[in-house]
Amino acid sequence: MKYQFTDSGYSETNRLNPPIVLVHGFFMNSNMFTYQVDALKEKHRIICINVRGFDINTDQIEPYSLYDIVNDILKIADILHLDKFILGGMSMGGYISLRFALSHPERLAGLILIATQAEQDPPDIASNYIELCNGWQAPTIKENIISSLLPVFFGNNKPEAEKWREIWLQHKPENIKLAMNAMLERDNISHKIHNIDTPTLIIHGSSDSGIPLEKAMKMQKMINHSKLEVIPDAHHALNITHANEVNRIINDWLTETTYSNHSQHI
């Protein structure tokens, strides 16, 4: 299988710090972390993974589960000879990252969870997702769906919303459906996350209607060594719309936790 990812590479200034692997959310792609790559690449090698089907050049793919993406991350890490790394995920990428943390804790130096949750979707949300998939076949309905979702992701940030509208319009219906199925069929891990012992940073927007803030608060109470940072008035794609705040939070957390821990092991 051909894995799709971007890699900022090692440099003299980042080679002694742990690499960071980032996993995007549903509808998005690896470009959603452009602002994080720019801010963090001086001190860290940054790898951004494209989840199956979300690269616009991807042909039709086979059905997959979130654990298949966990395995993709593991294989990419092995290919790149990443022994230990920090894993970060936004929304669906967070679902994947949590499962990676439970399955392969020995590979992680840290965990970053952005706009995500440990719980399964309630029936009404799941029903909305199914309607979304069914409507993606019809251009007019697809346009309406996108128009309704853009404010959920980007709030009033029109430039970012328009940029991502063009990307979303190119998503193939069959790939959207397979990704949606992987999300809807995910197992309940909310009773397991107390086993995560990796230093964890949770970042959430106070105005996130896609995944309410209370979901992040629940995670923070259940995950050991976790810290929750809330960004006022931020919506779902807060690492894009509030990039400066998110980058500052990540940088501060890296300084507090992983730099000292990593230096003790090199």
- The answer to whether residue 219 sits within a structural domain is yes
At 130 the pLDDT is 86
Query: CB atoms < 10 A from the CB of 22, how many?
Result: 26
Domain membership of residue 204 (yes or no) is: yes
Q: Which domain holds residue 100?
A: 5-119+188-263
CA angle (223 as vertex; 221, 225 as ends), nearest 5: 100
Please state, in angstroms and rounded to a whole number, the distance separating the CA atoms of residues 111 and 99.
11
- Can you give the CATH number for the domain in which 39 is found? 3.40.50.1820
**Does 183 reside within a domain?**
no
Is residue 181 situated within a structural domain?
no
Does residue 18 lie in a domain region? yes
pTM, rounded to two decimals: 0.95
CB 97 within 8 A of CB 111: yes
Mean pLDDT of 143-164: 96
The b-or-e profile of 60-89 (16+ CB within 10 A means b, else e) is eeeebebeebbebbeebbeebebebbbbbb
Structural domain includes residue 49: yes
In the chain, the number of structural domains is 1
How, if at all, do strands 46-49 and 85-90 pair? Answer: unpaired
105-127 residue pLDDT tens? 999 999 999 999 999 988 888 88
141 falls within a domain: no
Q: Is residue 234 part of a domain?
A: yes
Per-residue pLDDT reduced to its tens digit, 155-199 = 999 999 999 999 999 999 999 999 999 999 999 999 999 999 999
